Amino acid sequence: MSAVEEHQAPKPEDVVMEDASSETEDAESQDLDKIKLLPGSTPDGTSASFSITEEDHTLGNALRYVIMKNPDVEFCGYSIPHPSEAKLHIRIQTYGEMTALEALKKGLTDLSDMCLAVEEKFTEKINEGGFKTEEP
C-alpha cells in the first residue's frame, strides 16, 4: 500500500473535533463548528489548514509551539486573518508519517495535558505555601 493510500486527505465534512470537557448537548453542538478544514489540503492529508473560531493568539502561539515539538511535523504556523474577526487559521505540514489532522488532534491533546499539569503543580504549591486564596 502506498503512502497516498494510507493517508487520505480528510474531507471538510469528516473533520469533527470533539471537546472532551463538553458536558451538555448544547456545548457539543457548538463544538462541531469550532474547527473547520480550509480548502487547499494535499490529497494525502499531510498538509492542511484549519480555521478555529472564537480563538486568538493565546491559543494560536501555544498550539503552534506544541505541534512543532512533534518530530513528525515539518511546519506549523498560524495567523489571525483580520483583527476584527475572532478566528484563528493554523497550517500544518507533516513529513508523511501522520496526517495534518492527526497532528492537530495530538497537539490539542498535548496542550491540554500540559495545562492540566501546570494547574495541578500550581495548586499544589499554593496549598503547600499556606497562601490564602480568595474566591469571588
Cell of 136: 469571588
The answer to whether the predicted template modeling score (pTM) of the entire model surpasses 0.85 is no
The length of the chain is 136
What is the per-residue pLDDT for 1?
Answer: 44
pLDDT, mean over the chain: 84
CA 109 to CA 103: how far, in whole Å? 10
pLDDT in tens, the chain (136 residues): 444 444 455 555 555 554 444 445 555 555 778 999 999 999 999 999 999 999 999 999 999 999 999 999 999 999 999 999 999 999 999 999 999 999 999 999 999 999 999 999 999 988 888 776 677 6
Q: What is the CA radius of gyration of the chain?
A: 18
Give the Cβ contact number of residue 80 at 10 Å: 15
What is the per-residue pLDDT for 21?
Answer: 45
- Residue 52 β-bridge partners: 35, 88
CA 68 to CA 107: how far, in whole Å? 9
User: What is the 3 state secondary structure string of 67-115?
Assistant: HHCCCCEEEEEEECCCCCCCEEEEEEEECCCCCHHHHHHHHHHHHHHHH
The three-class DSSP label of residue 36 is strand
The one-letter amino acid code at 122 reads F
What is the per-residue pLDDT for 6?
Answer: 46
Q: In the chain, what are the domain boundaries?
A: 3-128
Domain 3-128: which topology? Gyrase A; domain 2 (3.30.1360)
